[in-house]
Structure 1
Amino acid sequence: MSSQPPSAEVRQITVDEESAGQRLDNFLIRMLKGVPKSHIYRIIRSGEVRRNKGRVGADDRVAAGDVLRIPPIRLSGRAEEKAANPAPPREFPLIHEDEAFLVIDKPAGVAVHGGSGVSFGVIEQIRQARPQARFLELVHRLDRETSGLLLIAKKKSALKALQDQFRERTTGKTYLALVKGAWPARLKVLDQPLHKFLLPDGERRVKVTSREDPEGMRSVTLVKVASRLQAPHELSSSSPEGFTLLEVTIKTGRTHQIRVHLASAGHPIAGDEKYGDFELNRLLQRSGLKRMFLHAWRLALTHPLTSAPIELQTELPAELQNWVTSQKSH
């Protein structure tokens, strides 16, 4: 079903087979391109959106044949401009594609979706680049500054099957992370609950918490030393023990999990602007490392349609590999 522009009149939208099972909020966000999420939640909460003439909640799932009443929607000047100027179409480096899903190598610095001050992300750009695609949905997320493997479902059945694998932790997700200092080889398992909180300006942060914290979410990270790197002279004052390249496998997919677990162990990720060593980051920028050194490297999963095992991998992007090589040559 194609998305519809905002309208100043009441509309009726019939849910098609491909959209059946989606949450109402996600369905409307997809359908009402350019309408701020806050506005969509407001019209749902107020009861202005009706399903088959009855009230409906944001987390209710729509079924094929449902008739949704959408109230008149007038946009502010900025929102109108956004609706008139959709995301620029863009394809990303393709690692795998079949009838069920595709896997791209996401570059650092690109959000996976719009929101939180970002007008568009990977998913909006791919949808614009593939106007004929009936269904494209993110299976999972990567932080904006993290590069690497990102899965996008092309069928609703594939989306559900893949998300179930992520939730049940049957996927194998391994990242490459360069951290400050000499990571102790014996430290292989980080099993510490994480607690989300907001800064006074509303920005989201995560911290390690105690097992007694009712808001703490169990988080397990496995760490293996891949190689060690001596710090060149200009970085030795801030990281006298050099750096360690780690293979990091997450058993749980919590927000900022790897970044917080490694930082709390005393070895923050190089270039991490939220949880890192800020003095070291300044020197790293000067030495040519312009981003956080975290890359979604390997992914093992079961194919959602054939049940065959699949292993995917994408090597370090050039800007990270070149930086490592340049440090070794000092």
Structure 2
Amino acid sequence: MNELGKTSHKQVASEQVSMIEVDETAAGQRIDNFLLRVCKGVPKSHIYRILRSGEVRVNKGRIDAAYRLVQGDLVRVPPIRTAQHDEAPVSSNAPAAEFPILFEDDHLIVIDKPSGVAVHGGSGVAFGVIEQLRNARPHAKFLELVHRLDRETSGVLMLAKKRAALVNLHEQIRENRIDKRYYAVGYGDWQSDWGRRRVVKAPLHKYVAGDGERRVRIQENGLPSHTVFNLIERWDDYAWVEAELKTGRTHQIRVHMASIGLPIAGDAKYGDFSLNKDLARPSAKPSLKRMFLHAYRLKITHPATGEPLQLEAPLPVECKRFIEQLKNRETE
């Protein structure tokens, strides 16, 4: 059995030892992450237990959880019997789905993610884009998220089809060689003395709120965070901006916009809650039933060819309508 993609949950969870030869899709991956992918539905604690006990072997030798696989390695996976074996893993319950494709080749796939769809399962979400795509493409040997978007954010989302592409794109992200641009509409006054450009450098800190929700706040000892906001159009109480990410922190644009008095319209975590309620009313004009944050453009270097690649996702219909309603108010 030399193809990772052909290693099924049932095979691994049987009473037989599985021998898996590592191919190019898994080369460079840590053994613990490899096992978590192969042994779908098996708890992490059990994976680390069999690693510590030496039941997992690579080329007949013991290894620790940090070992990185090499193409051609032969991995011994022991019989794994847990209470969860008769339960389908989360991803198998995900309905197979395809999403609007902006670009695809042998190395990566870029989709236009809709608002309201999580990128992956977890934290109360049964499944996300990655699980749905994997089930829609059962013969794909490798498919991993390159980066993430908030569930409420729409737009350009990259997935790698080869491990080498994933490693290369992660390197581009770490070295800030990827140009990420978003459209957002904030509620409030774009100050005249800002001109057409407002730079925000405010450190961000992640924490868990009293309701158990993951939140982010500006905090002096937080992670350095840098966003540039370019004004596209302004009205008395709204501003449409292009947000240029210089760092990629969790909820960065949302928190930075709220910090300058322009909370994003429709933002349920950091926005103006009474405004959001008004915008969602059936008779509201302007009306909006989602957060107005859209990843519209991404510039990367192709991980295999080295050529520049620009990917764009059109503004969703509901966001277009909201902009038109704001413009029409000015003429009424």
How far apart are 1:50 and its partner, in Å?
A: 4.5
Q: Contact 2:108/2:158 (CA < 8 Å) preserved in 1?
A: yes
Match of 1:262 among 243, 257, 272: 257
2:227 maps to 1:228:
no
How far apart are 1:4 and its partner, in Å?
A: 2.2
Relative distance call for 1:189 and 1:84 in structure 2 (3 A) is closer
Q: Contact 1:13/1:69 (CA < 8 Å) preserved in 2?
A: yes
Relative distance call for 1:166 and 1:83 in structure 2 (3 A) is closer
**Residue of structure 1 equivalent to 2:240:** 245
How far apart are 1:138 and its partner, in Å?
A: 1.1
Q: Which amino acid aligns with 1:224?
A: N
**Residue of structure 2 equivalent to 1:302:** 301
**Residue of structure 1 equivalent to 2:111:** 104
How far apart are 1:133 and its partner, in Å?
A: 2.0
Instruction: Describe how 1:5-44 pairs up with structure 2 within 5 A.
Output: 5=9, 7-9=13-15, 10-37=17-44, 39-40=46-47, 43-44=50-51
Mean CA deviation greater in 24-33 or 6-15 = 6-15
Give the Cα–Cα distance (whole angstroms) in 2 for the partners of residues 323 and 262 of structure 1. Answer: 19
CA RMSD, Structure 1 to Structure 2 (Å):
2.4
TM-score when normalising by structure 2: 0.85
2:314 maps to 1:293:
no
Q: Contact 2:90/2:127 (CA < 8 Å) preserved in 1?
A: no
The 3-state SS of whatever aligns with 2:325 is helix
Q: Contact 1:53/1:69 (CA < 8 Å) preserved in 2?
A: no
Identity of matched residues, %: 53
**Residue of structure 1 equivalent to 2:188:** 181
**Residue of structure 2 equivalent to 1:207:** 217
Q: Which amino acid aligns with 1:228?
A: R
Q: Contact 2:42/2:82 (CA < 8 Å) preserved in 1?
A: yes
Give the Cα–Cα distance (whole angstroms) in 1 for the partners of residues 269 and 46 of structure 2. Answer: 30
Q: Contact 1:178/1:270 (CA < 8 Å) preserved in 2?
A: yes
Provide, for residues 272-315 of structure 1, a one-character-per-residue CA deviation record: whole Å limited to 9, x for no partner.
11111111111121134111110001111111122111112112
**Residue of structure 2 equivalent to 1:137:** 144
2:128 maps to 1:121:
yes
Match of 2:8 among 4, 17, 28: 4
TM-score when normalising by structure 1: 0.86
Relative distance call for 1:100 and 1:275 in structure 2 (3 A) is same
Relative distance call for 1:30 and 1:77 in structure 2 (3 A) is closer
Relative distance call for 1:195 and 1:225 in structure 2 (3 A) is same
Give the Cα–Cα distance (whole angstroms) in 1 for the partners of residues 211 and 76 of structure 2. Answer: 36
The 3-state SS of whatever aligns with 1:157 is helix
Q: Which amino acid aligns with 1:30?
A: R
**Residue of structure 2 equivalent to 1:283:** 278
Provide, for residues 26-75 of structure 1, a one-character-per-residue CA deviation record: whole Å limited to 9, x for no partner.
32232223334565456556765444442422x44222233434344345
2:205 maps to 1:195:
yes
The 3-state SS of whatever aligns with 2:177 is coil
Q: Which amino acid aligns with 2:8?
A: Q
Q: Which amino acid aligns with 2:244?
A: T
Structure 2 alignment gaps of length 5 or more: none
Instruction: Describe how 1:143-154 pairs up with structure 2 within 5 A.
Output: 143-154=150-161
Provide, for residues 92-115 of structure 1, a one-character-per-residue CA deviation record: whole Å limited to 9, x for no partner.
101111222121100011111122
Give the Cα–Cα distance (whole angstroms) in 1 for the partners of residues 307 and 288 of structure 2. Answer: 39
Q: Contact 1:113/1:124 (CA < 8 Å) preserved in 2?
A: yes
Relative distance call for 1:64 and 1:247 in structure 2 (3 A) is same
The 3-state SS of whatever aligns with 1:173 is strand
**Residue of structure 2 equivalent to 1:237:** none
**Residue of structure 1 equivalent to 2:328:** 329
The 3-state SS of whatever aligns with 2:87 is helix
**Residue of structure 2 equivalent to 1:66:** 73
